[in-house]
Chain A
């Protein structure tokens, strides 16, 4: 039975077409993937189905009945719930307060019935096998726990249709696994699920079927009951073109190139760097022109390494050498002067001034380094910005646009362009492609690897193993603040990354942890 059917849904925002012919159907008790590039209309569609947006046209049927959803609450009447991409949790409140938030049951005299609410929250989390004390404050949770609580919150509405909008964007594979366990549990209870994600292996892993959107239109679908669970079949649906074979050079060739450039000494060296209980005696060497990956579970200290190098974190011990010189890196300005640039993962928080123009965003780092003349050489800067926009191919190519008007992928391109404008010697990427679609991601990495060939050194941290596999010359696995393993280019594989990430190489638990793709 089709629990949800959408035909020819249209939606336009201020003249920009978000959806023009979206068709979608969802069967009872199935998990259906929804894929597409940034700006393809996935989120718009999800918001329409959950009543947050009213479509301009098209037909929506729920449980066979045509409906006209007017609001969020209206959609909830049809037992529809959405788990938001940007978490809708209040971090200062406890888990149970968040789960019942907005739907508190009140006793006589409208007093809150906390005991009942706590019991309900516990029951809901129990249903998806989540074991977190419900009295904990949300701010103390890890990203995956927050995501699970968010799902719990949606489940408290007892939905029959659940929309998960990029629930895994900030999770590592182990956390994704715990999320998937929850999704399977729901499926058993015959909840129908729409699963939106950019990570294709997740789609092939958890979904029964997938639908692909491109530029607001449904491009096609794959039913895994009759077709193989192969990512290569999905990519053409998303990008509209066959995937270029990985533009990766042979590992040994890269090795030769790097050691050739490395004659002048390493670009960066950390010796015994510790930071209270977060990092312990981290030593690493980054060679010129090398792309060095940091792998491992989330929150093991990878970000701390990058943050120290970028001058954000203070109070570390140990020595850091840039181009053979001992440097203090006491603040971000120091780091920028040393030619170290950090591309942050959370573009809304650290990467961009959303209400400023593309032009000024691109120029901030440059201007902060300006010395000499009293007036800024704006003419030269503008040309520089135009070049940067061209290099990263931001669309539309208008430097006067306000950044918040651009799509997510383009925003992230600007974050990258902004730092590349400094022509840094060392580029740090902190999960920089989080929530960026496949095509844009490939663009970015093609650009990065070109720059690396010209001598820029890169340290890349990604929560998605695939990015490490595709782009790194070497991967260091970080576990509980230590570097526990180095994986050379020849050996980088998903299985290895997973096994070493858990640091259980010798404990014989390999079998228990199947790789996400395996």
Chain B
């Protein structure tokens, strides 16, 4: 019964894919299982995993957020231009960054929830806005991030817990908490069938805003990690995250039409994309081919998503109970 539930979980194909990639990666990168490599991987993967969680939330409610990457860029720019060496400043600016992330997602959520424009175009528009503001603040990459801040990001607590892992654990704990909230259940209902949600007396607009707000929390965490990793503000630093996060969510078995899938899939998808870059690097593929290969492998990963259909054909269907 339990096994069947795991097999039928929408994120299951991505788990298989993940295991496969870990094996491949371990073969071509001899020290893959060493603590040092693990720490480095966590540091590089954490932002994309968090961005995937943010994107997953929005996709689950039946929308998509193209402004996610530009939002991350804007946060790095703002933080890099304001942060000073004092502890108060580091804490204050970090808090400000989180608030700004929530504000940006609230802005998206408000318009999407109350006026219902196509989210694709709507968030494309806001992404251009965020990008414009970032350029205005910081036309060229730069700014200042105190060593204390990015030092923390590469620290290891207690000799075995790298800080990025702690950030991810916090995010996972947040996911688990969300799973027990009424609003989160309603988020799936709205994504699954907006009409049914309406008929059940659910306030659809506020659930949509809620979804964007949650996504803002993850975006904020992602941006904090990016700043810790790059230690600069860059109006283009977030660009890659937008579509990579969408790809990660979809690879992770989250239905693009909403209402189906879960956070586990988004996490798997994020790690898969990270490992892909790793593998391509260690396989000594010419850098010209790297992007091309990545695309090919993403398509393969998406085909993996077609597994549920195969599985349905293979597993016997439920007996009709009367």
Question: Could you show 29 A-B contacts with beta carbons less than 8 Å apart?
Answer: A86-B195, A87-B196, A88-B196, A89-B196, A90-B189, A90-B193, A90-B259, A91-B192, A91-B193, A92-B188, A92-B255, A93-B189, A93-B192, A93-B259, A98-B196, A101-B185, A101-B189, A101-B197, A101-B200, A102-B186, A102-B189, A102-B200, A104-B185, A106-B182, A111-B180, A131-B322, A132-B321, A133-B321, A145-B320
Interface centre among A87, A91, A102, by most chain B C-beta atoms within 10 angstroms, is A102
Chain B 228-261 per-residue mask, 1 if CB under 8 angstroms from chain A, else 0:
0000000000000000000000000001000110
Q: Which 8 A-B pairs have the closest CB atoms?
A: A102-B200, A88-B199, A90-B192, A102-B201, A88-B196, A101-B200, A92-B192, A111-B180
Of the residues B181, B197, B201, B317, contact of A103 by C-beta under 8 Å? B201
Asked if B3 is at the interface (CB within 8 A of a chain A CB), the reply is no
Q: Which residues of B contact A (CB under 8 A)?
A: 180-182, 185-186, 188-189, 192-193, 195-197, 199-202, 255, 259-260, 313, 317-318, 320-322
A175 to B181, CA, bound (A): 36
What's the nearest-Cβ distance from chain B to residue A83, in Å?
10
Q: If A93-B189, A140-B318 touch, does A102 touch B259 (CB 8 Å cutoff)?
A: no
Q: A103-B201, A140-B318, A276-B313 are in contact. Are A89 and B182 (CB under 8 A)?
A: no
What is the distance, in angstroms, from B298's C-beta to the closest C-beta of chain A? Answer: 25
Please measure, in the bound complex, the distance between the C-alpha atom of A97 and the C-alpha atom of B196, giving whole angstroms: 12
CB of A90 within 8 A of CB of B313, answer no
Provide the residues of chain B in CB contact with A98, threshold 8 Å: 196
Residue A326 at the B interface, CB < 8 A? no
A72 CB contact (under 8 Å) in B180, B196, B201, B259: B201
In contact, B202 and A101 (Cβ under 8 angstroms) = yes
Contact between chains at A110 and B182 (CB < 8 Å): yes
Contact B185 A89, beta carbon cutoff 8 Å: no
- Docked Cα-Cα span, A132 to B196, in Å, equals 21
Contact assessment for B186 and A92 in the assembled complex, using a CB-CB cutoff below 8 Å? no
Q: Give the complex CA separation of A86 and B322 in angstroms.
A: 23
Is A84's beta carbon under 8 Å from chain B? Answer: yes
Contact of A112 among B181, B197, B318 (CB under 8 A): B181
Whose C-beta in chain A lies nearest to the C-beta of B199? A88
5 further interface pairs, Cβ-Cβ under 8 Å (given A88-B200, A92-B192): A92-B188, A93-B259, A101-B202, A136-B318, A145-B320
Give the distance in Å from the alpha carbon of A511 to the alpha carbon of B237 in the complex: 76
Query: Which chain B residues lie closer than 8 Å to A513 at the CB level?
Result: none
CB of A73 within 8 Å of the partner chain = yes
Chain B proximity mask over A213-227: 1 for CB below 8 Å, otherwise 0: 000000000000000
A497 and B133 CA atoms in complex are apart in Å by 71
A131, B320: Cβ atoms closer than 8 Å? no
A178 proximal to B (CB < 8 A) = yes
A142 within 8 A of B: yes
Q: Which of A98-117 contact B (CB under 8 A)?
A: 98, 101-104, 106, 110-112
Write out the residue numbers on chain B whose beta carbons fall within 8 Å of the beta carbon of A87: 196
Give a binary string over A141-154; 1 marks a CB under 8 Å from any B CB, 0 the rest. Answer: 01001000000010
**Contact flags A111-144 to B (C-beta < 8 A → 1, else 0):** 1100000000000000000011100100010100
The complex places the Cα of A132 from the Cα of B189 at a distance, in Å, of 21
Chain B residue, CB-CB nearest to A111: B180
Whether the Cβ atoms of B202 and A110 lie closer than 8 Å is no
Chain A residues with CB under 8 Å of B322's CB are 131, 178
Structural contact, B181 and A73, CB atoms closer than 8 A: no
Decide if B185 touches A84 in the complex (CB within 8 Å): no
Residue among A76, A88, A98 having the largest count of chain B Cβ atoms under 10 Å: A88
B37 shortest CB reach to chain A, Å? 38
In angstroms, how far is the closest chain B Cβ from the Cβ of A279? 15
Whether the pair A92, B185 counts as a contact (CB closer than 8 A) is no
Say how far A511's CB is from chain B's closest CB, in angstroms.
19
The complex places the Cα of A501 from the Cα of B240 at a distance, in Å, of 59
Interchain CB contact under 8 A, B193 and A89? yes
A145 to B322, CA, bound (A): 9
Q: How far is the CB of A116 from chain B (nearest CB, A)?
A: 13
Q: A92-B192, A133-B321, A140-B318 are in contact. Are A110 and B186 (CB under 8 A)?
A: no
Smallest CB separation, B59 vs chain A (Å) = 13
Residues of A within 8 A of B255 (CB): 92
Q: Knowing A104-B185, A110-B181, A110-B182 touch, does A90 contact B196 (C-beta < 8 A)?
A: yes
Inter-chain contacts of B195 with A (CB < 8 A) = 86, 88
- Assembly CA distance A76 to B199 (angstroms): 12
Alpha-carbon distance A470/B165, docked complex (angstroms) = 70
The CA of A104 and the CA of B185, in the complex, are separated in Å by 9
B259 and A112: CB pair below 8 A?
no
Residue of A nearest to B190 (CB): A90
Bound CA–CA A102/B193 (angstroms): 13
CB distance from A267 to the nearest CB of B (A): 33
Residues of chain A within 8 A (CB-CB) of B260 are 92
Q: Which residue of B lies closest to A104 (CB)?
A: B182
A278 to chain B, nearest CB (A): 11
User: Please, how many angstroms separate the alpha-carbon atoms of A38 and B186 in the complex?
Assistant: 34
CB distance from B209 to the nearest CB of A (A): 17
In Å, the complex CA distance between A145 and B318 comes to: 13
Taking a contact as CB atoms under 8 Å apart, the answer to whether B181 and A142 are in contact is no
Chain A residues closer than 8 Å to B193, beta-carbon distance: 88-91
Write out the residue numbers on chain A whose beta carbons fall within 8 Å of the beta carbon of B317. Answer: 140
- Which residues on the B side are within 8 Å of A92 (C-beta)? 188, 192, 255, 259-260
Q: What is the CB-to-nearest-CB distance from A330 to chain B, in angstroms, rounded to a whole number? A: 19
B10 (CB) vs chain A CBs: closest residue: A92
B180 and A112 contact, CB distance less than 8 A: yes
Residue of A nearest to B259 (CB): A92
CA distance A103 to B200 in the complex (A): 8
* Cα distance, A275 to B146, chains bound together (Å): 67
CB distance from A46 to the nearest CB of B (A): 13
Chain B nearest CB from A480 CB (Å) reads 12
Q: What residues of A have a CB within 8 angstroms of the CB of B185 in the complex?
A: 97, 101, 104, 112
Contact partners of A132 in chain B: CB under 8 A: 321
CA–CA, A87 and B199, complex, Å:
9
Residues of B contacting A90 in the complex (Cβ-Cβ under 8 angstroms)? 188-189, 192-193, 196-197, 259
User: Which residues on B sit within 8 Å (CB–CB) of A73?
Assistant: 201
Residue of A nearest to B195 (CB): A88
Nearest opposing residue in chain B for A88, CB measure: B199
Residue of A nearest to B183 (CB): A110
Hey, which chain B residues are within 8 Å of A97, CB to CB?
185
Shortest CB-to-CB span from A52 to chain B, Å, is 9
Q: Is the CB of B188 within 8 A of A102?
A: no
Bound Cα distance A104, B181 (Å):
10
Measured between beta carbons, the chain A residues less than 8 angstroms from B318 are 136, 140
Chain A residue, CB-CB nearest to B1: A135
Distance in Å from the Cβ of A446 to the closest Cβ of chain B?
Answer: 35
Give the chain A neighbours of B320 by CB distance below 8 A: 142, 145
Q: Shortest beta-carbon distance, A433 to chain B, in Å? A: 24
Residue in A84, A93, A131, A132 whose Cβ sees the most chain B Cβ within 10 Å = A93
- CB contacts (< 8 Å) of A178 on chain B: these are 322
What's the least CB distance linking B161 to chain A, in Å? 28
Nearest CB in chain A: distance from B10 CB, A: 9
Contact B321–A131 (Cβ < 8 Å): yes
In whole angstroms, how far apart are the Cα atoms of A178 and B322 in the complex?
9
CA distance A140 to B317 in the complex (A): 9
- Report B-chain residues with C-beta under 8 Å of the C-beta of A88: 193, 195-196, 199-200
Contacts of A86 in B (CB 8 A): 195
How distant is the Cα of A12 from the Cα of B131 in the complex, in angstroms? 49
